[in-house]
Amino acid sequence: MNDCLFCKIIAGEIPSTKIYEDDSVFVFADIEPTAPVHWLAVPKTHIAKLSDVNESNSAVISHIYEVISKLAAEHEEFADGFRVVSNCGKTAGQSVFHIHFHILAGREFAWPAG
Ligand code: AMP
Ligand code: ZN
């Protein structure tokens, strides 16, 4: 996806603060953090949104959750809890159409969602 912001970040064409990378997953700091820890976990393959996940591409989504669990175990800010959010589509507030998982930690989070 040549015009995708997050594909460009993964390719290093747009700078980011990298937190973690492996063969299939990239994690970087959100440019407008809403919590002491606010990272974005993305698959390196372009999937536009959560409703495009299916049996042919879901392995990387499973792997993203393994990565999140590993990162949570490694960082003190996650010790008391954390939140993972994937906004899907316009009414949920998705603004970048490369599936991403907000990883939020370091403060208390309200529920229900706004
Ligand atoms: P969403 O609104 O759920 O699609 O989330 C998109 C997120 O991408 C927002 O939290 C933005 O702050 C973040 N974002 C946008 N551009 C960049 C960028 N260049 N580097 C890091 N995060 C970004
Ligand atoms: Zn993309």
The 3-state DSSP class for residue 71 equals helix
Beta-carbon neighbours within 5 Å of ion ligand 2 = 1, 4, 6-7, 46, 98
Pocket probe for ligand 1: among 40, 84, 94, 99, the residue whose CB has the most ligand atoms within 8 Å is 40
Tell me if 61 CB under 6 Å of ligand 1. Answer: no
Does residue 1 register a pLDDT over 70? Answer: no
Q: Cβ-count burial of 72 within 10 angstroms (0-12 exposed, 13-18 middle, 19+ buried)? A: middle
Tell me if 16 CB under 6 Å of ligand 1. Answer: yes
pLDDT digits 0-9 by tens, 8-43: 999 999 999 999 999 999 999 999 999 999 999 999
For position 114, what pLDDT does the model report?
87
Ligand 1 atom with minimal separation from the 85 CA: 3
Tell me if 86 CB under 6 Å of ligand 1. Answer: no
Ligand with the closest atom to the CA of 87: 1
Known catalytic membership, residue 46? no
Listed residue (52, 70, 73, 74) closest to 61, CA to CA: 52
Question: Cβ(27)–Cβ(9) under 8 Å?
Answer: no
> Is the entire prediction scored with pTM above 0.75?
yes
pLDDT digits 0-9 by tens, 45-86: 999 999 999 999 999 999 999 999 999 999 999 999 999 999
Distance of alpha carbon 84 from alpha carbon 68, whole angstroms: 9
